[in-house]
């Protein structure tokens, strides 16, 4: 009887230990699988970031060029205003010399 | 109490040993303690034990296993003398373990022999024999005849006790033969005595007398007088059996005298009884009565009840033969009562032994039960520990998984937030760019309108005023150059990347226009074909184009050059752009850098390049831009 009980105990103990070891193995496998899955998911997100960052950088460059031309146009506007003013002045001087201005 | 040591010489030796045990070197101290224990074991067992324990303490201090084994052996001896056989066995086993640890085969064999003796004393004969044979195996390997002989004797004693006289005789003989090979006179003598007594059991009287005589002579020669009486007693028994009563009487008398002299009361009583029985056979009843009474007196002193009863039997017989019937009747009654008493005693003893056995068995059962409980407890503890270990590991794994999940969630959230932020930024930038494009389109249209208006005025009116004409021409030129600049910028803005091929086309277009303006200047434009594979960022492309444009414009305007060469080369991991003219050049130290030069330098440095200008009077000018191929400048 005692022998039977101890045998049953040993079998139960071994079964429990095997189950626990299996659980440990399962948890470990799940851990590494999750890690791998996450790595793939993150790689996709990182690729998206890379692409939209590239777009952003391109847009920044375009905006820089735009700002540059804006400032160039600003100075061109001033020059052009001066030139048109000079032209008008010359024109009015000629008209005035030739008494062509309305009185 | 017996005096501790019989002679002054012994006392002197003890004192000397005591001094050494206190003052000597460690090895000498130990030996002295063991000797002292041995000496005291004859008369003061407590003192003997004290020295043995001191020896053990010294052995433990010295961490010497040989010493430890000898000390345990000494302790076991004392327990054996005290008839505390279980303790004796325990310490002999400890001694054995210590000797086994250092593989000291001689002492291992001694330990087995001692364990055998203890089992023999406990009447556990199979165990005794097993240990004797183990000892014998070691002694055989060592070829130690004296030790072999000693063990053979011990084995013979066990067989004799079990009444296996044949086997006992075989081992006694072996012992005797082995002792003959050694110088151990005492061993030889004892062995001969043993043989004498065993031959008596077989009725081999000649042999019995021969070996008993050898033993007697041996004891006498070696001054072991105390033991002479034993072979003499055997000889007496032999002659008694042979009905040679004269010799028997002589030897009985001698044996009794010697035992009496050495105060061996038990043996006196036993021999007196044997002699009294022999005298009855010889019809010497009065003498028989006298020896029976002597036997009673000595048996009483030795508390040997059986011998007293035997003496009563002899007395009853002798008195009966003498006609003293009342005495004979009295002794006969005493004999019967004594016999009954012995029977009762033996019965009581048997009951007591059974009780003891029962108690021992009960104790053993209890011990086994306790051991089983302890084992069960250990198993339980082990099981709990294993479970705890597994639970800790599982808890750790779950915790690690949860931690990883949290970390992953945080990381994912961070990335998603970053994506959202960048997307928002991109949308805003897109809106700004859209507004800029609309604005530039409007400005372009307005500038075109201005050019068209100025050209119409010039075409519609024949302007004689050169000043006015120049003003209009200047406005037209300025507006044209501005619109060109705007177109170039819009071209760059509309492309995220500019290939070298695009850039080449644009530069060629610009050179064509420059050729139209300056027909006397020869333009050379070469570009390394390997550069076609490269793509520049829009800002890099724009800055390179503007730098070339500015350099060519400067050469046309100020250098008076007849040739202008533009080259693009790939050197290692660098792009080298060179604009060279063969014009008048200038002295770098004397001129101040104007806006044009500074702009070129700034544009190249903005895209991470190195700008260089080399010029000497009459030797032309060379402008070099070196650009490293990296992520910022080159796609």
Interval B527-553: pLDDT, tens: 888 888 888 888 888 889 989 989 998
pLDDT of residue B4: 47
Tell if the CB–CB gap between A62 and B538 is shorter than 8 Å: yes
Chain B residue with Cα closest to A41: B412
| Cα of A74 to nearest chain B Cα, Å | 11
Q: How far is A103 from chain B (nearest CA, A)?
A: 24
CA B370 to chain A, closest CA, distance in angstroms equals 16
- B465 touches A at CB < 8 Å: yes
The rounded percent of chain B whose pLDDT value lies above 90 is 37
**Considering chain A, what is the average pLDDT of its residues?**
87
Q: Are residues B560 and B455 in the same domain?
A: no
Question: For position B318, what pLDDT does the model report?
Answer: 92
Q: Strand pairing of B621-628 and B574-581?
A: antiparallel
Q: Tell me the residue range of the domain where B488 lies.
A: 365-494
Is B13's pLDDT higher than 90?
no
CB B228 within 8 A of CB B260: no
Same domain (yes/no): B573, B586 = yes
User: What one-character DSSP code corresponds to residue B203?
Assistant: T
**Which chain B residues are Cβ-neighbours of A53 within 8 angstroms?**
422
Phi and psi at residue B51, to the nearest 5°: -70, -35
| Cα(B167)–Cα(B161) distance, integer angstroms | 11
Picking from B390, B400, B422, the nearest residue to A31 by CB comes out as: B400
Q: Which residues of B touch A60 (CB under 8 A)?
A: 429
* Torsion angles phi and psi, residue B221, rounded to 5: -60, -40
Interface of A with B in 45-64 (CB under 8 A): 45-46, 48-49, 52-53, 55-56, 58-64
Residue B381 located in a structural domain: yes
Question: Which residues from A are below 8 Å from B475, CB to CB?
Answer: 80, 83-84, 87
Please state at what angle helix B65-81 crosses helix B85-101, rounded to 10 degrees. Answer: 170
Report residue B391's pLDDT band, with 50, 70 and 90 as the boundaries. very high
Domain assignments of chain A as residue spans, ordered by start: 1-73
pLDDT band at B356 (very low <50, low <70, confident <90, very high): confident
| ipTM exceeding the 0.85 mark | no
Bigger pLDDT: B426 or B226? B426
**Residue A30 to residue B401, Cβ atoms within 8 A:** yes
Show residues of chain A in contact with B471, CB under 8 Å. Answer: 83, 86-87, 90
| Residue pLDDT, tens place only, A17-45 | 899 999 999 999 999 999 999 999 999 99
Give me the pLDDT at residue B1, please: 33
- pLDDT for A72 beyond 90: no
Residue B486 touches partner A, C-beta closer than 8 Å: yes
**pLDDT for B148-164, tens place per residue?**
899 999 999 889 888 88
Q: What is the mean pLDDT of residues B194-198?
A: 90
The two structure tokens encoding residue B192: 């001969």
Interface check B468 vs A, CB under 8 A:
yes
B600 in the same domain as B481: no
Mean pLDDT of all residues belonging to chain B: 87
B405 at A interface, C-beta within 8 A: yes
Please give the C-alpha separations between residue B188 and each of B134, B169, B177, B194, B614, in angstroms, as whole numbers. 23, 15, 9, 10, 126
Asked if A65 is an interface residue toward chain B (Cβ–Cβ < 8 A), one would say yes
At B457, the pLDDT band (50, 70, 90 cuts) reads confident
Q: Count the domains in chain B.
A: 2
Among the ranges given (B331-345, B392-406, B506-520), the one the predictor scored with the smallest mean pLDDT:
B331-345
**Res B349: pLDDT:** 65
User: Considering the domain boundaries, does residue B76 fall inside one?
Assistant: no
* 3-state secondary structure labels for all residues of B447-487: HHHHHHHHHHHHHHCCCCCHHHHHHHHHHHHHHHHHHHHHH
- Percent of chain B scoring above 70 in pLDDT: 96
Measured between alpha carbons, how far is residue B547 from residues B193, B205, B484, B498, B577 in Å? 133, 143, 15, 16, 10
Nearest CB to A65; choose among B397, B422, B492? B492
Three-state SS at B611 = strand
B401, A73: Cβ pair inside 8 Å? Answer: no
What is the predicted pLDDT for the residue at A32? 93
Residue B394 and residue A79: Cβ atoms within 8 Å? no
Give exposure, A15-47, as e/b (b: 16+ Cβ within 10 Å): eeeeebeeeeeebeeebeeeeeebeeeeeebee
**Mind telling me how many Å the CA of A17 is from chain B's nearest CA?**
8
User: Could you tell me if B436 and B517 lie in one domain?
Assistant: no
Query: What DSSP line would sit under A37-67, residue for residue?
Result: HHHHHHHHHHHHHHHHHHHHHHHHHHHHHHH
- pLDDT of B337 above 50: yes
Work out whether strand B522-527 and strand B563-571 pair parallel, antiparallel, or are unpaired: parallel
Q: What angle do CA B621, B626, B630 make, to 5 degrees?
A: 165
**Does residue B527 come out as left (phi exceeding 0), alpha (psi in the -120 to 50 range) or beta?**
beta
Domain closes at, from B494, B523, B539 = B494
- Find the CB nearest A65 among B408, B419, B489: B489
**Chain B 364-383, residues with CB within 8 Å of chain A CB atoms:** 383
Whether residue B227 has pLDDT greater than 90: no
Highest averaged pLDDT of the listed ranges A84-88, B398-402, B616-620: B398-402
- Closest chain A residue to B443, measured at CA: A73
Whether residue B506 is contained in a domain is answered as yes
Q: Comparing A10-14, B571-575, B585-589, which segment has the lowest mean pLDDT?
A: B585-589
Q: Which residue of A has its CA nearest to B493?
A: A62
C-alpha–C-alpha distance, residues B69 and B97, integer Å: 8
**Whether residue B371 is found in the same domain as residue B453:** yes
Question: Are B478 and B523 found together in one domain?
Answer: no
Whether residue B316 contacts residue B328, with contact meaning beta carbons closer than 8 Å, is answered with yes
Q: How confident is the model at residue B500 (pLDDT cuts 50, 70, 90)?
A: confident
Residue B3 pLDDT grade (very low, low, confident, very high; cuts 50, 70, 90): very low
Is the Cβ of A41 closer than 8 Å to some Cβ of chain B? yes
Q: What is the distance between the alpha carbons of residues A42 and A49, in angstroms, rounded to a whole number?
A: 10
Claim to verify: residue B477 and residue B553 sit in the same structural domain: no
pLDDT at B231: 93
B538/A41 Cβ within 8 A: no
Q: How large is the average pLDDT for residues B408-431?
A: 93
The reply to whether residue B426 touches residue A56, judged by beta carbons under 8 angstroms, is yes
CA distance A99 to chain B (A): 16
Domain-located, residue B276? no
Cβ B198 vs Cβ B161: under 8 Å: no
Check CB contact under 8 Å for A27 and B401: yes
The Cα of A42 is separated from the nearest Cα of chain B by a number of Å equal to 7
pLDDT top residue among B346 and B88: B88
CATH code for the domain in which residue B564 is found: 3.30.565.10
B597 within domain boundaries = yes
Would B541 be classed as within a structural domain?
yes
| In the predicted structure, residue B133 carries a pLDDT above the cut 50 | yes
pTM reported for the whole predicted model:
0.46
CB contact under 8 A, A62 and B397: no
Same domain, B508 and B401: no
Q: How many CB pairs under 8 A join A and B?
A: 127
Q: Are residues B477 and B505 in the same domain?
A: no
Q: What residue of A is the nearest CA neighbor of B387?
A: A17
Indicate whether B421 and B375 sit together in one domain: yes
Specify if B217 maps to a domain.
no
Q: Is B321 inside a domain boundary?
A: no
Chain A partners within 8 Å of B393 (Cβ): 24
List of residues 6+ apart from B463 with CB closer than 8 A: B457, B469, B472
B420 part of contact set with chain A, CB < 8 Å = no
Cβ-nearest to A61 among B422, B430, B537 = B537
Mapped onto helix, strand or coil, the DSSP state of residue B579 is: strand
Assess whether pLDDT exceeds 50 at residue B2: no
Q: Which phi-psi region, left, alpha or beta, contains residue B620 (left: φ > 0; alpha: ψ -120 to 50)?
A: left
What pLDDT is recorded for position B421?
94
Nearest CA in chain A to B433: A63
Residues B442 and B456 in one domain: yes
- What the block records as the tokens of A86 is 């000079």
Q: Which among A45, A62, A72 is the nearest to B433, CB-wise?
A: A62
A66 lies within 8 A of chain B by CB:
yes
Domain boundary among B441, B469, B494: B494
Q: Does B602 touch chain A (CB under 8 A)?
A: no
Structure confidence at residue B619 (pLDDT):
84
Looking at the structure, do residues B387 and B436 belong to the same domain, yes or no? yes
């Amino acid at each position: 009887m005692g022998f039977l009980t101890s045998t049953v105990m040993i079998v139960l103990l071994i079964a429990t230990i095997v189950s626990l070891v299996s659980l440990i193995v399962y948890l470990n496998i799940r851990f590494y699988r999750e890690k791998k899955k996450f790595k793939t998911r993150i790689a996709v997100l990182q690729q998206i970031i890379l692409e939209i960052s590239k777009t952003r950088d391109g847009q920044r460059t375009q905006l820089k060029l735009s700002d540059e031309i804006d400032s160039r146009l600003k100075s061109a506007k001033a020059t052009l205003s001066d030139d048109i003013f000079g032209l008008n002045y010359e024109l009015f001087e000629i008209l005035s010399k030739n008494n062509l201005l309305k009185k | 109490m017996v005096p501790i040591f019989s002679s002054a010489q012994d006392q002197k030796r003890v004192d000397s040993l005591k001094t050494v045990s206190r003052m000597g070197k460690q090895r000498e101290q130990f030996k002295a303690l063991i000797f002292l224990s041995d000496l005291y074991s004859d008369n003061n067992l407590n003192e003997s034990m004290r020295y043995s324990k001191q020896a053990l303490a010294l052995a433990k201090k010295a961490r010497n296993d040989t010493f430890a084994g000898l000390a345990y052996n000494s302790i076991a001896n004392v327990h054996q003398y005290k008839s505390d056989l279980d303790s004796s066995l325990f310490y002999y086993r400890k001694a054995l373990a210590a000797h086994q640890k250092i593989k000291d085969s001689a002492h291992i064999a001694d330990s087995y022999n001692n364990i055998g003796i203890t089992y023999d004393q406990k009447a556990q004969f199979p165990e005794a024999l097993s240990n004797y044979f183990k000892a014998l195996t070691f002694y055989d390997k060592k070829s130690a005849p004296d030790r072999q002989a000693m063990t053979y004797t011990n084995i013979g004693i066990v067989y004799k006790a079990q009444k296996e006289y044949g086997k006992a005789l075989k081992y006694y003989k072996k012992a005797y033969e082995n002792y003959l090979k050694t110088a151990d006179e005492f061993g030889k003598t004892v062995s001969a005595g043993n043989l004498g007594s065993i031959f008596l059991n077989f009725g081999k009287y000649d042999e019995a007398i021969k070996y008993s005589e050898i033993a007697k002579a041996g004891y006498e020669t070696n001054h072991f007088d105390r033991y002479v009486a034993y072979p003499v007693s055997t000889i007496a028994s032999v002659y008694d059996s042979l009905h040679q009563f004269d010799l028997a009487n002589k030897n009985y008398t001698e044996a009794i005298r010697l035992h009496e002299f050495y105060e061996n009361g038990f043996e006196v009583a036993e021999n007196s009884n044997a002699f009294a029985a022999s005298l009855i056979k010889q019809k010497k009843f009065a003498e028989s009565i006298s020896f029976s009474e002597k036997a009673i007196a000595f048996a009483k002193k030795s508390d040997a009840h059986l011998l007293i009863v035997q003496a009563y039997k002899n007395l009853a017989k002798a008195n009966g033969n003498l006609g003293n019937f009342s005495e004979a009747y009295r002794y006969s009654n005493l004999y019967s009562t004594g016999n009954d008493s012995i029977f009762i005693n033996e019965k009581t003893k048997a009951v007591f032994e059974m009780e003891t056995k029962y108690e021992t068995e009960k104790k053993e059962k209890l011990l086994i039960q306790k051991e089983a409980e302890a084992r069960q407890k250990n198993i339980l503890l082990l099981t709990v520990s294993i479970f705890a270990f597994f639970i800790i590991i599982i808890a750790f794994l779950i915790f690690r998984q949860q931690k990883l999940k949290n970390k992953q969630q945080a990381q994912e959230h961070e990335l998603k937030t970053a994506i959202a932020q960048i997307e928002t930024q991109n949308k805003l930038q897109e809106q700004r760019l859209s507004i800029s494009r609309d604005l530039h389109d409007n400005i372009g249209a307005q500038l075109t309108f201005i050019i068209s208006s100025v050209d119409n005025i010039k075409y519609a009116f024949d302007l004689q005023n050169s000043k006015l004409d120049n003003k209009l021409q200047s406005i037209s030129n300025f507006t044209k150059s501005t619109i060109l600049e705007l177109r170039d910028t819009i071209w760059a803005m509309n492309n995220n990347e500019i290939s070298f091929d695009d850039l080449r086309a644009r530069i060629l277009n610009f050179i064509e226009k420059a050729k139209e303006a300056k027909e006397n200047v020869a333009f050379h434009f070469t570009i390394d074909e390997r550069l076609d594979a490269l793509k520049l960022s829009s800002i890099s492309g724009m800055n390179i184009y503007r730098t070339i444009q500015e350099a060519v414009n400067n050469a046309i305007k100020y250098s008076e050059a007849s040739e202008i060469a533009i080259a693009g080369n790939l050197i290692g991991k660098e792009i080298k752009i060179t604009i060279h003219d063969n014009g008048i050049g200038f002295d770098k130290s004397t001129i101040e850098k104007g806006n044009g030069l500074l702009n070129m330098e700034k544009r190249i440095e903005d895209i991470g390049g190195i700008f260089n200008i080399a010029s000497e009077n009459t030797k032309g000018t060379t402008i070099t831009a070196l650009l490293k191929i990296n992520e910022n400048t080159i796609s």
